[in-house]
Structures are given as structure tokens and as C-alpha cells.
Amino acid sequence: MNNLNFNHSSNLLIDSCYSTSNGEVRGVFFVQTIFEAKGLTQRYGSSLVLQDIQMSIQAGDIYGFIGENGAGKTTLMRIIAGLVFPTRGEISLFGKSGKELRSARRSVGFLIEVPALYPHMTAQQNLTFYSRVFGVDDASRIVEVLEIVSLREVGDKRVSEYSFGMRQRLGIAIALLNNPKFLVLDEPINGLDPSGIVEMRKILEYLAKEKGVTILISSHILSELQLLATKFGFIHKGRLVKEISSEELLKSAASQICVRTPKPVEVMHILKEKLNIATVALMNNGEIQIPKDSMELEKLMTFFLQQGIPIEGLHLSAPNLESYYMDLIGGRVS
Ligand SMILES: Nc1ncnc2c1ncn2[C@@H]1O[C@H](COP(=O)(O)OP(=O)(O)OP(=O)(O)O)[C@@H](O)[C@H]1O
């Protein structure tokens, strides 16, 4: 039995305020909590799919949700959508929980897995159908959402003629029909070609920046999430193991020493044999990467000098989401 309660007033956090010299209070800004999970736990038979998740998403966030296959991302999104009822714990949307969730969900747009489209119907007809399902009676909204996802010109084409990328965009258009303040997108860029990924990024950036839509997005394409998201949540075996902002990611320590040498294979061999560094890797660009915590940079340079190893370049890798994730899951980040 779940006995967690949300303090509804806590969904408004004072971000900053200041007073003038005459004591007048000005500039009070509020940050609204759009989504919150408290102690969220999901069990299927004997397997714990989500374990005691505490998570919150603030207005304006593009929250990148990251985790291996089966980590529990879709399950959490399905709970937000009301498709799965959690075993324990509670969620709130816009500060509303319990029985009020149903009405709160009307301000949320979902694209979970692939969109359910009718291929023999046009995009407009699909949107008309979903407008009726969602109770949206403003016909002009169909034109607006087609415009947002750059499908207005082809809105009268049958969906069977659409490419995969166009279908994904139509899925976003459907999720936008009810003018949501919060979008929940489960792997929307999965399977898209590079131009489709860029197009999707532009749409999501537009929605976040111009329309003030808060977004929760999962993806395995970490380089893309790094470009898009303002905050990252890492889920591993059903536990939310870390949350960081994009600024914190950029400030995080570089994790690899990158070495450029004309004899990479020989140098790798020497590093493994003489310095006992087992995890040295040869990258596609010909550089050798050595985990930064395996040896101090100065000692490594001295070693190269002493051994007479020719070095053309040596630098620290820029912090990036992929290596941060690998370090985190490998236990090197706390
Ligand atoms: N209805 C269900 N019944 C039993 N097990 C389920 C059910 N739904 C999901 N699972 C299991 O829960 C675990 C988490 O699945 P989930 O789809 O949430 O992971 P995910 O992080 O979204 O993975 P992926 O990146 O592969 O989409 C998996 O082991 C999955 O097999």
C-alpha cells in the first residue's frame, strides 16, 4: 500500500528574488516542477524493473534519460502515461498526483515506442482521428502541428508513402495535438538517418525554446542527446544512479589521455607490457586512448621520453556524455 504524499505547494520552488534598497521585493522567479517520482518501484513477477526512483524534471528542462537495454526507461514512461500502475511509490505531474493525474495527463504529449499510424490514411486524416480521440476540436491545430514537424506540404499524402523519419515526425505531431506543456518521448530518434536526427533535434529545440515545452527523451544515441539535453538522468538496472546538468557534464573531468604516435600498435604493446595498463585502446582516428586514472600525465610523458617513443600529440579528451556514461556504469564516477 502506498502511503507517500506530495506536498503540492512544493512544486513551486523560488529560484531567485531580490529586494531594492527601499525594501521593495522584485524579480521573484519560480521554477515549476513538471514531473516528480517518489520511491517509484515496479516489479514484474520476481524481477524488480524500477527500484525506489526519486526523480524530478523542472519546467524548461530537456531531460535526457539514459540507460542500457532493459534498464527501465520505457517502464517509467509508461507509468507517466498511465499505461502501467506502479507497484510502489508515486508520481506527480504539474504538482498533481493520485486521482488528479488523469486530468494532468491531458497536458502531456506522448510518443512511446513507434507511433500507431493508419498507413492507408493521409497524415491529416490520422491527425483528425487522434484529435477526436483526444477531444481536440480546433481543426486549425492540425495545420499548426503539421507545420511544426515540417509535414504541412505533404499532409495530404498517405502515410504508407512516408519515410520512417516522416512517420516519426507525424508521431510527434500527434503528441502535440493537445498543446502539451510536457512531452515524453521514448527513443524518437532510434532508426533515423543522420538528416532525420538533425531534423528531429531542430523540432525539439524549437518546442523547448519557442513554445516552452518541457521534454523527457530517452535515447541510446548519446552524442545526439549531449547536443540536445539540458539535464541527464542515468538509470542502471532499474535504479536512477546519477543526474547531472549539461553544465556539470562540461565541467566533469576528461576521462582519457589521447596519444598520437607514428607507431600506435608498438606503443600499445609497450604500455601494456611495461606499465601494466590493460585498458589502452586504439581508436578509429589512429589515436591511443588511456584511461586518465591509470597513470599521471607527467609520468606518462617522462616514460615516453625515457623509452625514446616518438609522440606527435598528447591531449586530454573533451568531456562527453558517452565516456561519462561508460565511466559511471564502470564505477569511475561517483
Ligand atoms: N509487461 C511486462 N512484463 C514483464 N516484464 C516486463 C514488462 N515490461 C517490461 N518488462 C521488463 O522490464 C525490463 C525493463 O524494460 P524497459 O522496456 O522498461 O527497458 P528500457 O530501458 O526501455 O529498455 P530498451 O532501451 O531496450 O527500450 C526488461 O527486462 C523488460 O523485459
Same domain, 125 and 246: yes
Residue 1 lies in a domain: no
- What's residue 125's pLDDT? 97
Strands (E) in 45-112, as ranges, are 47-58, 62-66, 88-93, 108-111
- What's residue 122's pLDDT? 97
Same domain, 81 and 199: yes
Give me the sign of the Cα torsion angle 293, 295, 299, 300.
negative
Q: What is the mean pLDDT of residues 89-111?
A: 95
Angle at 192 between CA 186 and CA 193, to 5 degrees: 155
Residue 326 lies in a domain: no
CB atoms within 10 A of CB 71: 23
Distance 246 CA to ligand 1 centre (A): 27
User: Which residue has a Cα nearest atom 18 of ligand 1?
Assistant: 72
User: Which residue has a Cα nearest atom 31 of ligand 1?
Assistant: 70
Distance 49 CA to ligand 1 centre (A): 7
Substitution site in 40, 47, 49 for ligand 1 pocket (most atoms within 8 Å of beta carbon): 49
Same domain, 123 and 160: yes
Distance 260 CA to ligand 1 centre (A): 42
Ligand 1 pocket, Cβ-based, cut-off 6 angstroms: 44, 49, 67, 69-75
Percent of the chain scoring above 70 in pLDDT:
89
At 194, list the grid cell: 543522420
Distance 143 CA to ligand 1 centre (A): 36
Alpha helices (H) along 48-193: 73-81, 101-104, 123-134, 140-148, 164-176
CATH of residue 59's domain is 3.40.50.300
User: Which residue has a Cα nearest atom 6 of ligand 1?
Assistant: 44
**Ligand 1 atom nearest 84 alpha carbon:** 1
Structural domain tally of the chain?
2
Same domain, 304 and 170: no
User: Which residue has a Cα nearest atom 9 of ligand 1?
Assistant: 75
Distance 265 CA to ligand 1 centre (A): 41
The span from the CA of 243 to the CA of 234, in Å, is 6
How many helices (DSSP H) and strands (DSSP E) are in the chain? 11, 14
Same domain, 131 and 264: no
CATH of residue 285's domain is 3.30.70
Distance 44 CA to ligand 1 centre (A): 9
pLDDT digits (tens, 9 = 90+) for 176-190: 999 999 999 999 999
Q: What is the mean pLDDT of residues 305-334?
A: 81
**Ligand 1 atom nearest 50 alpha carbon:** 14
Residue 332 lies in a domain: no
ipTM of the complex: 0.96
pLDDT digits (tens, 9 = 90+) for 14-60: 344 444 444 444 444 456 999 999 999 999 999 999 999 999 999 99
The span from the CA of 168 to the CA of 200, in Å, is 9
Residue where a domain stops, chosen among 214, 232, 250? 250
Same domain, 302 and 238: no
Same domain, 182 and 266: no
Q: Are 178 and 136 in contact (CB under 8 A)?
A: yes
Contacts of 147 (CB under 8 A, 6+ apart): none
pTM of the predicted model as reported, rounded to 2 decimal places: 0.80
Residue 54 lies in a domain: yes
Return the SS3 of 316: strand
Query: In the structure, what pLDDT confidence band is assigned to residue 3 with cuts at 50, 70 and 90?
Result: very low
Same domain, 231 and 130: yes
- What's residue 225's pLDDT? 95
Same domain, 131 and 266: no
- Determine the structural domain holding residue 282 and report its residue range: 254-318
